């Protein structure tokens, strides 16, 4: 049987893989269900999510998916800037009652409404955490190479 050599991933493909891994790490820290992960990623299929996380990440992401992941990363960074890096409060913030920008429900409830909800939560928590702290933490945020 001939050996199949797969092409090396391009920088864009490596970036995509890193974004998916980082999203998964944040989702694990936030203790999100698979259904919540699917909705935050824009309603991808369960089989797509399984393939991305268990077999191989996608070669590319849509603009919408990249924006959604960017908001999740921004929210995670802002909560860590506000509460402290890797603190339990930062990890549980999105699930606690009355953390929604409108004061009703949780930030996660708002995030699950779609892209506008993700953007709203990100703006809200970044305003609480202070722009300069978020900017410096985001600049040092490193995408892991393995999960």
Q: 125-138 pLDDT, tens per residue?
A: 888 865 555 555 55
Torsion of CA 71, 72, 74, 79, to 10 degrees: 140
Q: 146 pLDDT band (50/70/90 cuts)?
A: very low
More confident residue, 100 or 14: 100
pTM: 0.79
Q: 30-89 pLDDT, tens per residue?
A: 999 999 999 999 999 898 888 888 877 777 889 999 999 999 999 999 998 888 888 898
Could you tell me the two tokens for 59? 């070669």
- Residue ranges covered by each domain of the chain: 12-140
The answer to whether the CB of 44 falls within 8 A of the CB of 108 is no
Q: Does 25 have pLDDT greater than 90?
A: yes
| Cα–Cα dist 19/65, whole Å | 10
Residue 18 is predicted with a pLDDT of 85
Residue 51 is predicted with a pLDDT of 85
Residue 141 is predicted with a pLDDT of 54
| Cα–Cα dist 86/125, whole Å | 16
The answer to whether the CB of 57 falls within 8 A of the CB of 80 is no
DSSP letter (8 states) at residue 1:
-
């Amino acid at each position: 049987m001939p050996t199949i050599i797969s092409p090396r991933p391009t920088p864009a493909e490596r970036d995509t893989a890193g974004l998916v891994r980082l999203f998964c790490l944040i989702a694990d820290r936030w203790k999100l269900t698979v259904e919540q992960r699917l909705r935050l990623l824009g309603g991808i299929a369960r089989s797509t999510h399984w393939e991305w996380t268990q077999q191989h990440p996608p070669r590319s992401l849509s603009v919408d998916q990249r924006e959604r992941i960017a908001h999740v990363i921004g929210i995670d960074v802002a909560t860590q800037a506000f509460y402290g890096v890797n603190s339990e409060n930062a990890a549980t913030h999105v699930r606690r009652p009355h953390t929604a920008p409108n004061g009703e429900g949780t930030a996660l409830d708002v995030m699950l409404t779609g892209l506008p909800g993700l953007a709203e939560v990100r703006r809200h928590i970044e305003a609480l955490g202070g722009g300069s702290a978020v900017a410096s933490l985001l600049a040092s945020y490193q995408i892991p190479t393995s999960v």
